[in-house]
Chain A
């Protein structure tokens, strides 16, 4: 397994501003992902954070809105840009510490409220 921390744990932001969320893992991992979990909903994959290259985004998510950095094998950031109330959600990072893609471990999440 892996120990994952996220910062901030929660934030309240104003419409039109941006927030950067950090994800730190206690060991080097190849695969790192960012998910969104809207109130009462399940998890939706935003993108795969690739180390040393541009992130791979899922349908419906774009780099201009959710820029992602992955400078090394233990750290990634997700920025939520030009926020609107519809971006209010929990944002989670996950990692695959071993060989099996299906064994994903999640951080505690960042609870974002946009007013």
Chain B
């Protein structure tokens, strides 16, 4: 299996521009997670989906952030407009949830390093 695939690996953009990060989860996994890693806060969960439905988006910092999962094999995280404080590494992870409360480990992608100037 190719594992969780994220693109792009690096993104440099100017403040005010729209940024779209992409994720392809592991085939067969039914839960998908978006995290942000910063030095100060470590790994923060932004949003997660189960069976393509957003379950918890309480970690999304502002309305500038949005995430979609149109099908089981693709998800996007969009920032519009981007700001310098959004600079971080964004990870996507997937897992298989047997039933509510019985989830297996999360597998992480390599991350997208976002720099907003």
Q: Determine if chain A interacts with chain B.
A: no
